[in-house]
Structure 1
């Protein structure tokens, strides 16, 4: 049982952003704000930057969040910038990342990130609560995602804070947060669109004052979301300029360049790791035999000059623009690569259509698990950045009706709900189960 007189900390460790909230018997959950370089914010980018520095223990200095971005932009050539590393948590093929001369496991990067996340919270977390509730996806990223491996790595990562940690499905945290808005009993579906996963939970919400306000009914998830949508833009607008679809000469034959050379552009966690001697040597050989060597030279420049950050920022800006406009432009310019492409919302929606179909199937799976029909859902709460994409919202409107859709607090609702769950009477009922 939980001593609700004590504060509890909710941590939404996200693929793209991380958020924390505190709850106690005196508060309904307060977001922790960070005095970031560009202004105070409750959203902390899930990013790391490493650079070599004499006098620092181990010879490597590091930062996280918006401070990592600031360090990287100041000296991109001499640093290693890593983002979206959460996406490798359940990947058995991932063992370590080479950062300068050192090897970092997932949990090593996680510990560095957590140390900075908590330190930048300042006075808000001067006394770290004894009980911490951490969100986790219903389904992890990857075709062969190993949930038990991810749990082991999470345990090692969060052991560094020296507190009791409970894991709760991320959309359940959002459901608990949304329930605080309701004044009558309802059956609620939460659709949480993160950077790496799309997760869905169905929860029964009782009237305020009930002994148990929320009861989880079912959950389902899929390992694709915002990062996949970004990659669809990269695949259609950027990668053709870096050699994808091109050819190379092998003796007397002209062959298509294998797609494997471009798979690491699928997300930040893999693109950031391409800056290594072996990969660059392989690309150097490919450039010599390529029919269009200039395109491979551009790909090498993207990797060597750490242009990936700027590319993905431009891609993200286009995606956000198309959420509000019928057409927008992808604009990126550097000494080695210039891209200007006009894109319509209809084109973008055609690129992500296969992903939306799989997301729709996962929504239906959650309904089947709860033994409910769409008309039995009273409210659908859409949260996470990709929930703002019109095609995503339309998917739910077609199933449940526009009137039942709700949104808001897209980036903070999970952490808020996790902190509130920490104040509930029995945390065991909220524990995430790997077999679900």
Structure 2
């Protein structure tokens, strides 16, 4: 990959669930890079990795995106499938991921992911752009996110990817993309709901042709989004079948089964990593002393049989169904575990109620930092997959009115806007 000093800028939305790349064209509309994946050609590249033992005996082979999913689906027991690894970028507790007999730091997984993404881009990324604009959340995921650590890891991940790297808040990318639709000045609130974080930016948009089209006014974020909603579903429908809330016997006493196992199991970035000798030995010992050993046996079976992706798919299917209907059926089967449940939208909204309160508080902070009131917002642009959840949309309808709500390009608007920002002379005003 060689640098082209006169080439277009590149916008990269490196997301928790999906990643999207757009190439800028001076004075034109950015082009989304498409990937001819096994199932379909799409600009959406799943943020996932799959590892397996190379038949040649040279160590581990790997792939990313849709190809990682295809490899896992064909050989689930012989592979390790890792998704949502962006979620650990700001976690001090995460040091390395053990994959078979090899260990990977965050930046090493990131570099491998980028390498595979470039390889699958059909030559469109073989020439390195002169400027790369990478989206980053306003607030990283995790209980106590370390922003400086995340920046260090991002710098190492993208080192060598481009001659000039800039980081821009993800909702600002979406704001710049949405601004291309506006024909008159407006103050907009952008709400970006990803897999790991929900981020908000208030931006003043000038009239078309203005020297500076967009001016950021304020930002806020919270480490709650699609993956947290997944956890709520797992916590209600799946984890009780795997021993959560149960007990084990120790020296004549009954003690609660450690919750850390269930926290790891319900985190897509950590579930696959539980399949290691230490954790599996601990679970086998726990099974021998558990009051309900069969439940722990089911957890062991799901981990050993690499059923994380089918479980993720079942949870995602339920969320999507509840976004379009008032009720839906949950089904998951594998490794001796079978779960069937009818779930209403009202139930799901009850499960995520506390999360919605924290999201609303982040919206309030964004308005406060921007020094604007609700009445000052002319348009609200919703983006990201979780923006399609009716309860999330209702936050903004109730505050700003249905007429103010705009959407579109839920998975591609950030990359599109980042590429547009990359073509601006005043890019330093956007960088963080």
Distance in 2 between residues matched to 1:45 and 1:138, nearest whole Å: 21
1:4: Cα distance to partner? 11
The answer for the alignment partner of 2:126 in structure 1 is 126
Cα deviation digits, residues 156-179 of structure 1 (max 9, x gap): 110132421110000000000000
What is the SS of the residue equivalent to 2:352?
Answer: helix
The answer for the alignment partner of 1:311 in structure 2 is 311
Matched, 1:299 2:299: yes
1:335: Cα distance to partner? 3.6
Cα deviation digits, residues 120-175 of structure 1 (max 9, x gap): 11132232211110000000011211111111111111013242111000000000
The answer for the alignment partner of 2:9 in structure 1 is 8
The answer for the alignment partner of 1:47 in structure 2 is 48
Change (3 A) 1:96 1:335: closer
What is the SS of the residue equivalent to 1:181?
Answer: coil
1:307: Cα distance to partner? 0.9
Distance in 2 between residues matched to 1:99 and 1:250, nearest whole Å: 32
1:56: Cα distance to partner? 6.7
1:266: Cα distance to partner? 2.9
Matched, 1:195 2:195: yes
The answer for the alignment partner of 1:396 in structure 2 is 396
Distance in 2 between residues matched to 1:91 and 1:356, nearest whole Å: 23
Pairs within 5 Å for 1:85-100: 85-100=85-100
Distance in 2 between residues matched to 1:20 and 1:255, nearest whole Å: 49
Task: Kindly indicate whether the alpha-carbon contact (under 8 Å) linking 1:250 and 1:289 is maintained by their aligned counterparts in 2.
Answer: yes
The answer for the alignment partner of 2:28 in structure 1 is 27
Matched, 1:170 2:170: yes
The answer for the alignment partner of 1:331 in structure 2 is 331
Task: Kindly indicate whether the alpha-carbon contact (under 8 Å) linking 2:206 and 2:214 is maintained by their aligned counterparts in 1.
Answer: yes
Cα deviation digits, residues 390-429 of structure 1 (max 9, x gap): 0000011111111101111000000000000001111100
1:54: Cα distance to partner? 4.2
Change (3 A) 1:245 1:375: same
Matched, 1:66 2:66: yes
Task: Kindly indicate whether the alpha-carbon contact (under 8 Å) linking 2:329 and 2:341 is maintained by their aligned counterparts in 1.
Answer: yes
CA RMSD in angstroms comes to: 1.3
Distance in 1 between residues matched to 2:18 and 2:376, nearest whole Å: 33
Pairs within 5 Å for 1:232-247: 232-247=232-247
Pairs within 5 Å for 1:135-154: 135-154=135-154
Distance in 1 between residues matched to 2:417 and 2:379, nearest whole Å: 17
Distance in 2 between residues matched to 1:43 and 1:353, nearest whole Å: 30
Regions of 4+ moved over 6 Å: none
Task: Kindly indicate whether the alpha-carbon contact (under 8 Å) linking 1:12 and 1:414 is maintained by their aligned counterparts in 2.
Answer: yes
Change (3 A) 1:15 1:197: same
Q: Which runs of 5+ in 1 are unaligned?
A: none
The answer for the alignment partner of 1:38 in structure 2 is 39
What is the SS of the residue equivalent to 1:161?
Answer: coil
TM norm structure 2:
0.97
The answer for the alignment partner of 1:255 in structure 2 is 255
TM norm structure 1:
0.96
1:246: Cα distance to partner? 1.4
The size of the alignment, in residue pairs, is: 429
Distance in 1 between residues matched to 2:287 and 2:42, nearest whole Å: 44
Distance in 1 between residues matched to 2:23 and 2:254, nearest whole Å: 61
1:27: Cα distance to partner? 2.5
